[in-house]
Structure 1
Amino acid sequence: MTDPNFTLNTGKTIPAVGFGCAFGNWTDDTEMQGFRPELAWHGVTEALKAGYQHLDTAHCYGTERHVGDIVGRALSEGQVQREDLFITTKLAHPAAPPHVAISHRLTWNWGSVPDIQQRVMDDFEASKEKLGMGYVDLLLMHWPGDFVNKDKGFAREARLAIWEVFESLVKRGDAHAIGVCNFTADHIEDLISAGRTVPAVNQFELHPYCQDPELEAYCQSHDILVEAYAPFASGAYGILKDPVISEIAQQTGRSTGQVILRWQLQCGRVVLPKSSNPQRMAQNLQLFDFELDDAQIAKINALSPKEAKRSTVDPATIP
């Protein structure tokens, strides 16, 4: 692909490469696990300087205020225009395990609140206030349910209730598009079979060691764009040193990170790399002046193990 944008089922365009605004550690148990929003001050500032127009944050990341402040300064100085930016945020992240440092005020189990729809609306208003924006370009339901709930009926009704709020935000103009995150085909089918708005996006963990061709085919059949988060497995599994990917990097004269991102794009996915290194940030945008051939694509596809190597919870465990 040579076009740096994809088109959503709403007709709106979305930059094919976004900057992930979750900072912290999820994979190394020798360090504190959880979010480190203070790292966003440098990271998001450098991302804007590098030319990123697509910023992907979430209510639970604790970085909405950072994104809002940094973008606000850029807007005030005339460096960017709001219409040229694509801002994504996410709501309804379930409570995290106790060892993960995430604010309990930003995450909650769906069965623990008296009114799910009111909580989602309140969280959205808080997100919009932190961002300092009148609308978001894309609003995602962060997870399809609680990590501890095993009641399929409750989870389905809760998803539908949250989705109804999302639909109302589109009607109000607060969100220009709505989608889901970490959803399986069954989770999405709960929405579609109820006659609700088809999600514009399904964002889930996707990298050479964590592939799901069946889910991608399902999304494609319903005109749902796939977004790949953790394209480098959040630093786990040594993916950037994989010998197959390293060989392709030598053949193309690119970094292993660029090869992985180019593979994602050629497979039709929006990709969301994250880095704190300005040089790598710039590299991660330099993806549209080379292509992988069919054999190279096939070699990376073949790296998928029988059991996916994930950096987070398997969404299939959520009913």
Structure 2
Amino acid sequence: MEKFTLNNGIDKPVIGLGTYPMKGNILIETMEKAIELGYSSFDTATAYKNHEEIGEVINNSIVAREEVFITTKLSNIHQKHENIEEVLKRSLSILGLKYVDMYLIHWPVPDYFLKSWVELEQLYKKGLVRSIGVCNFHEHHLRDLIEIANILPAINQIELHPLLTQKPLIKFCSKYGIKIEAYSPLARMHNYIQNSDILKELADRYQKSIPQIILRWNYQNGVISIPKTQSHHRLSENISIYDFHLSNEEMISIDDINMNFRVRHDPDNCDFDKL
């Protein structure tokens, strides 16, 4: 598994496994298969309520803990109402881990996310997390955060796919060394994706699937991807993207699919109490 280096010097695999909304035996079996195939990066959150299963797999795996990259997230309700260090320590207890590799603010909850960031910086300094970052932050959220931050986010995890390319936000984050991580990188295989003539043509040209074309596009753009799948075939396919290369013209043709179309929530127009 190839890796990108984050702005604090640690490496993160370019493809990880998104675990929402998997739980129970399905999640355990999927993670075990993923590890067998070579995955080492797993994305979860307090809100997903699957820390116990993830911890069980990691702690029973033959793979050394330092070779696994675990990301979890601070939920909205915990931003508002609880001591963040205590929240993280509860998560670590459930996971059965001494630290997580990445701790993210899940959503930029107004009036709270700046205070939360200051507390995440302290968790980082205490060694409870190896890196810190944010999710779903627009440029204006990041500008506010950068004004008060002593440590810049290592990652901004956002919805990103050919229907929502987020080019201005990528450019802004690049200026500050903030790596982009794409969730829903396949746009949940929306009909617009499945029926895209450009993506179908490229898939035929390289004898790859449309998801592989998209994940390769992300990789060549320097974007980390965390697709979710329970399929063993898809698990294998999603990391088999290193034996072909998209040309500049092909990359631009995928960029041009953009419709600014979301399959998830807009951080400026959502109910944070329900997320």
1:130-154 Cα distance to aligned partner (Å, 9 max, x none) = 2111011111000001xxxxxxxxx
How many residues were matched structurally? 270
Asked if the contact 1:191–1:197 (Cα under 8 Å) also holds between the matched residues in 2, the reply is no
Residue aligned with 1:89, SS = strand
Task: Give 5+ residue unaligned stretches, structure 2.
Answer: none
1:176 aligns with 2:174: no
Match in the other structure for 1:126: 90
Structure-2 separation of matches of 1:195 and 1:110: 17
Structure-1 separation of matches of 2:225 and 2:79: 29
Normalising by structure 1, report the TM-score. 0.81
Match in the other structure for 2:18: 20
1:52 aligns with 2:50: no
Match in the other structure for 2:233: 279
The residue correspondences of 1:182-197 to structure 2 (distance < 5 A) are 182-197=136-151
1:171-226 Cα distance to aligned partner (Å, 9 max, x none) = 11110100000001111111111243110000000000112111000000000000
Match in the other structure for 1:231: 185
Asked if the contact 2:103–2:132 (Cα under 8 Å) also holds between the matched residues in 1, the reply is yes
How far off is 1:109 after superposition? 7.5
Identity %: 33
Match in the other structure for 2:166: 212
How far off is 1:238 after superposition? 4.7
Normalising by structure 2, report the TM-score. 0.93
Match in the other structure for 2:4: 6
Asked if the contact 1:241–1:256 (Cα under 8 Å) also holds between the matched residues in 2, the reply is no
Match in the other structure for 1:37: 23
AA of the residue aligned to 1:14: K
The residue correspondences of 1:127-146 to structure 2 (distance < 5 A) are 127-145=91-109
How far off is 1:254 after superposition? 0.9
How far off is 1:269 after superposition? 0.3
Residue aligned with 2:265, SS = coil
CA RMSD of aligned residues (A): 1.7
Structure-2 separation of matches of 1:186 and 1:314: 13
AA of the residue aligned to 1:164: V
Asked if the contact 1:86–1:137 (Cα under 8 Å) also holds between the matched residues in 2, the reply is yes
How far off is 1:110 after superposition? 5.2
Residue aligned with 2:268, SS = helix
